[in-house]
Structure 1
Amino acid sequence: MHNLLKGGKLYRYDYDVDLDFFIAKSRGGTVRIAYLDPPRLVLHRAYFLLKNDGFGAYNLFNNNCEDFAIYCKTGLLSPRIIALSRSGQIASVFAAICAIISFPYSLVLTSISNFVGGLALCYVLYSICRLLSDIGYRKDARRVGV
């Protein structure tokens, strides 16, 4: 494990979390609503895909290492046309951009004097965007076998 990390940090995902915990966890890409499959099935998917080059070409936004891990852990995929990424970190970046862009509008809606209200509204928008992109919440996600 030490050689794999090369001085970096090891991060752990939490799966099958409830909605309150998901929203409270502000750092995207660390929690999932989706159920975690048994380790035997997770390893079967990973070995099969690695052996058969079956997950496709790497793409930072549409098919990255986090997407691979999420599929192996849950067996869930969503259509590429709709899904920007299954990656929580990528989705969080886009959610943050949406919240920042909407910030001036939130100040108008909550009155300019209510800066805290504007920030709270931005956080709500950020959380909604993260939730809508979560593979466990998405209605278009399907269980796909290898």
Structure 2
Amino acid sequence: MDESTQKTIKYGFGKRLRELRHSKGLSQEGLALACELDRTYIGGAERGERNVSLVNIHKIANALDIPPYELLKGGQARHATSRNSGTPVAVIRSPTQRIGDAPAALRPPQTEHKAAQSWLPQMALRLFGIKF
């Protein structure tokens, strides 16, 4: 994955984190205290400067009282380009949209769980041990 794609993913995650933090009425310091992380770590994550680990995603989600997959939703539309020519090849609405293009054999089975509307949230739920 090239550096600009990584920056786009980290920026989208940070933007979503900031939105959720504001919706809960928390400051960066308040969130950092609640999830036992440093305030500067939260600020760096919101600015897209940090590659946040799965463990820290789980800590942040618990502090915000949301399921971890909520932090991965959203993102701004961006154009993907061919690695060779640089010409646009698709419009991607979020960094995770391409995952839905996986062959059906690789996707988890569909469930009736209301929170699991795509297979990425299902994988996040399974990753963090939530049964549905």
Work out whether the TM-score is over 0.5: no
State which structure, 1 or 2, has the greater radius of gyration over its C-alpha atoms. 1
**Higher fraction of strand:** 2
- Report the TM-score when normalising by structure 1: 0.23
